[in-house]
Chain A
Amino acid sequence: ETGVTQTPRHLVMGMTNKKSLKCEQHLGHNAMYWYKQSAKKPLELMFVYNFKEQTENNSVPSRFSPECPNSSHLFLHLHTLQPEDSALYLCASSQDEGTLREQFFGPGTRLTVL
């Protein structure tokens, strides 16, 4: 248990659905991240929040919309997804954005888009 939880753990949705992924960290960290993990590909950084402010949007399509209401919670709102968006979505947190801060990962949400 790393102190980063994600819900749901599994999600199946159609292309016209709207759903949200939730991440919560219990570590007192100030930075939170969304990654996409596809099979046999490097983890792709999607979004970064530091002290609730978005500091990175790594050319992610607008059908993915992040929200960070406070330093402990991070959401990823999903709308009109494509089958190629099926992947494991990982949330991570770190003390801050500083270079010496290791990132702690949640268990991920396995997303399947039909």
Chain B
Amino acid sequence: AQSVSQHNHHVILSEAASLELGCNYSYGGTVNLFWYVQYPGQHLQLLLKYFSGDPLVKGIKGFEAEFIKSKFSFNLRKPSVQWSDTAEYFCAVNGVGDSNDYKLSFGAGTTVTVRA
């Protein structure tokens, strides 16, 4: 079974600052990786996903994430945040070929607060 660790519980930053959220997973095999975002009062929605190919993945709203296999990491980045990026961010992973490979394992989430 896989587990996901998100390093930051709560991040507070100012508009135009750069954002990087850490995500590490524990699973020895091939993985699919996801970042979901939950804006205040809204449903979870997909920011970006990695299945294979280029380890640098670009998502919606200017977000990107880099899969570093040797570090079991999938960190999320945005060069310049906006107030509207205030939300909770969840990293998720599922192991390909695992008997439970349909299961998404989620991290505990990182709350991002952007101050105007």
Query: Which residues does A use to contact B, with CB under 8 Å?
Result: 2, 4, 31, 40-43, 45, 48, 50, 55-56, 90, 92, 94, 97-108
Given contacts A42-B4, A99-B94, A100-B32, contact A2 B43 (CB under 8 A): yes
Cα A112 to Cα B28 in complex, Å, equals 39
Count of chain A to chain B residue pairs whose CB atoms are closer than 8 Å in the complex? 52
B90 nearest CB across to chain A (Å): 7
Chain B residue at minimal CB-CB distance from A4 = B43
B-chain residues with CB within 8 Å of residue A92 when the two chains form the complex: 44
A-chain residues with CB within 8 Å of residue B94 when the two chains form the complex: 99
B-chain residues with CB within 8 Å of residue A99 when the two chains form the complex: 32, 94, 96-97, 101-102
Given contacts A42-B108, A100-B32, A102-B49, contact A90 B102 (CB under 8 A): no
B42: Cβ under 8 A from any A Cβ = yes
Chain B positions 50-75 with a Cβ under 8 Å from a chain A Cβ: 51
B7: Cβ under 8 A from any A Cβ = no
Contact with B43, one of A41, A45, A105 (Cβ below 8 angstroms): A105
A-side binding surface: helix, strand, loop or mixed?
A: loop
B106: Cβ under 8 A from any A Cβ = yes
B71 nearest CB across to chain A (Å): 20
A99 nearest CB across to chain B (Å): 5
Contact with B103, one of A45, A101, A105 (Cβ below 8 angstroms): A45
Given contacts A45-B103, A106-B43, contact A40 B32 (CB under 8 A): no
Cα A90 to Cα B44 in complex, Å, equals 9
Given contacts A90-B44, A100-B51, A108-B43, contact A48 B4 (CB under 8 A): no
B45: Cβ under 8 A from any A Cβ = yes
Chain B residue at minimal CB-CB distance from A100 = B51
